[in-house]
Every structure is written in structure tokens, then in C-alpha cells.
Amino acid sequence: MTLISMTVREALRDGMAEEMRRDETVFLMGEEVAEYNGAYKVSQGLLDEFGAKRVVDTPITEHAIAGLGVGTAFGGLRPIVEFMTFNFSMQAMDQIINSAAKTLYMSGGQMGCPIVFRGPNGAASRVGAQHSHCFASLYAHCPGLKVISPYSAGDAKSLLKAAIRDPNPIIFLENELLYGQHFDDVSQDPEHILPIGKALVRREGKDVTLTAFSLMVGKALQAADVLAEQGIEAEVIDLRTIRPLDVETIVQSVMKTNRIVSIEESWPFAGIGSEIAALMMEQAFDYLDSPLLRVTGADVPMPYAANLEHLALPQVETIVEAAKAACYRL
């Protein structure tokens, strides 16, 4: 399989375009997705190729956009609903959770809601508390949803394609800071999709497991480089899907390394790290030589000041420190 290099932004666009070519019921709606080509230019060129029927600019009304999207999914279409950022999905949460996620169950399996809610998630840069929210834990809490948060361009494309083809409601969490990054792992095969729910070991190591998703995978890989210089071989797991979580891959890694650090940019309380900690207690307790440590965002609303924002987010140094602590090497 030939892999080519492109940005995450382009890969996402190509993923959508391929699925829209393949299936006429797939369409994109959201604020600024059509004529503006996307607030972050993710939908660049889609209006030109597919026209206004299938690339739909909406008013700024997230609550009803989400509900309308759910209705189109009930009605036999496969909507992709873009949130300009996931921060605004808070306005739409009732429709996402009560209408999209629960209806299959409430209908005894009759309904189903094939819909993708996608957009940038988490902190970008200096945009303050209301525009820096990571929703991974919040949405992953809910049965009936699948939550995906890719790191590389290839994963972004192939997982987005999988999400569009999936018959369930999907939360697809992108990252603004990754949009412009190049990765040379993008498949050009329109039928190449990745399985949802499978993590990827991005770096093998024997001393400590680092779990991360989205932007934090990059930080974890950088931390692994630093750790290697200090004689610690870290294994970096890119979770890729938050729900369903690939617990098996994490357990397999912990059985080898006996130590684990979870990394996420969101808040610590009831976060993804908390969940992984509980799962390791349940499924890998006998293999742990030290307690799981969490590297998370600070437990505060995101500050604006540059120095405070830096302190509020996990940095390579904090990951390195946590990994060393897990290895009792401080």
C-alpha cells in the first residue's frame, strides 16, 4: 500500500470527499463548511465538488443543527455534522446524548442513528476557558456513542471514513494544532479504513507504558525520546478510539512494562486516565509494579495568559517526570 504525506486537515477533507463520492446519502453540514470552506479549512473544495445540496452552511444554532442532523440520520441519510469547535457542542449535547445515543436502545434496536459529529476538540492556543475544552471523557461516558480521537493524518482519514460508514453515532474529536501537521502515513486507497476501537503502539518499549490520544501522542513520543536518552524505554500507545477503548492493547503493554502513565490534556477528575487506572486495577493489577500515574490538564478553567496556559497543559517535561516517577527513577 502506497502511503503519502499530507496534513491532517487535507487527510480529513479527503476522507470525507471519498465517502461522499462513494455514498450519495453522505453529506456535510455545519457553520461555515461550504462557502467559507470551513472555519479551519477542513472542508476546502467540498462545496465545489459536491454542491450546496450536500455541503450545507447552517446558521449558528448548534442545538437544532445537531437535532436536525439526528433527524436526517433517522430519515435514511448519513450526516456529518461539523462543530466549528467541540466547545459549541455543549449547546447540542441534549440532542447528541438523548436523541442520537439513546434512541437505538429506547427503540429496542429499531432505529439507529448513523451520524458523525466532528470538529476540533480541546485546547488550541490562547483562546481561553470557553474555547479550550476537551470533551473526550464527557462523551466517552455515554453508552450508545463511539468516541474517536486520532493523532496522525493517516489515522484521521481512515478512522473518519470508518466513522462515516459506521451505523452508530460517532464523536470524532480532532485537534486544531494538528490540522497543519504533516504525516507520511496517508493511504490513497478509497477502501482503506481503520477499525474503530483499535489502539496503535506507536513506539515499543519495555520499561513504562505511556497512553495518549490526539495531540498528546506527539508529546508522549517526544517524552519517549527524552526518556530513551536517560535509559528508559517507553512504550507509547496511541489510543485512537476512546470508546470503545482498546483495553487489551493496554493490558498487553502493562504485562510487559509493569508501569503505566496516562496522558490527556483534559481535567483529572473522572477523566480518561481515571478510567484506565480503574481498568488496570481490574485487569492488570498483578502486573503493576507501581501505581498508574496520570498526566492531565490542570484542574482549572483554561487561563488566557501564556505562562498560565503552558502550566495548565501537559508538557513533554511533565510526561518525562511522571514516567520517571513511575519507574522510581526520580
Binding site for other proteins (CB under 8 A): 23, 25, 27, 53, 58-59, 61, 63-77, 94-95, 98-99, 103-112, 114, 143-144, 146, 165-168
Given a contact cutoff of 8 angstroms between Cβ atoms, the answer to whether 77 and 111 are in contact is no
In this structure, what C-alpha cell is assigned to residue 244? 470503545
Q: Which of 10, 131, 174, 275 is catalytic?
A: 131
- Closest to other proteins by CB, 75 vs 231, is 75
Catalytic residue check, 133: no
Given a contact cutoff of 8 angstroms between Cβ atoms, the answer to whether 276 and 262 are in contact is yes
Cell 476501537 maps to which residue? 197
Q: Which of 10, 18, 62, 235 is catalytic?
A: 62
- Closest to other proteins by CB, 176 vs 275, is 275
- Closest to other proteins by CB, 10 vs 18, is 18
Given a contact cutoff of 8 angstroms between Cβ atoms, the answer to whether 113 and 74 are in contact is yes
The least CB distance from residue 99 to other proteins, in Å, is: 6
The least CB distance from residue 7 to other proteins, in Å, is: 27
Given a contact cutoff of 8 angstroms between Cβ atoms, the answer to whether 210 and 253 are in contact is no
For helices 153-165 and 8-22, give the axis angle rounded to 10 degrees. 30
Cell 464523536 maps to which residue? 171
Catalytic residue check, 131: yes
Give the phi and the psi of residue 29 in degrees, each rounded to 5: -135, 150
Q: Tell me which amino acid residue 63 is.
A: H
The least CB distance from residue 321 to other proteins, in Å, is: 38
In this structure, what C-alpha cell is assigned to residue 294? 496520570
- Closest to other proteins by CB, 66 vs 260, is 66
- DSSP-H helix ranges across 141-238: 153-165, 176-179, 215-229
- Residue positions annotated with a catalytic role: 62, 131
